[in-house]
Amino acid sequence: MSTYETFQLVAVLLLAAVFGLSAAARRYPHVTWLRPFSNAFPRLPEEQRQKARKRADFYAGAQLILLGLALPFGYAALTIMTFSSFLPTATVLVGAGSLLCIGLGIIAIWHSRR
């Protein structure tokens, strides 16, 4: 094991230990020696968490819509690159998947705006 890999392992173990102690401090607030770890990973207020959740829903919806638009082009490009023919079943499946992604994206964006 190289020095860099050892450093990575130690860093990840330390981070995991602090995360675990932070979770334990929130679960057991009566334990005195855990109190300093309770704010190691501070929680956002409920209002900011709600805003972050809405923003994440919007971005997920936009990504789903873009995936739905790119799916047919990807199918066409891969079909042409492999010198295959367009199969009716595959075309219908790609179209259905594309419409599903676009529909889910619209629902996610609508949900973020409520």
pLDDT tens figures, 19-40:
898 888 888 888 888 888 877 7
pTM here is 0.65
Instruction: Give, as one character, the DSSP assignment of residue 40.
Output: S
Classify the phi-psi angles of 14: left when phi > 0, otherwise alpha if psi is within -120 to 50, otherwise beta. alpha
Phi, psi (rounded to 5 degrees) for 85: -105, 155
Domain chopping of the chain, boundaries: 1-43, 46-114
56: amino acid identity, one letter: A
Q: How far apart are CA 11 and CA 28, in angstroms?
A: 25
pLDDT tens figures, 40-68:
777 788 899 889 889 999 999 999 999 99
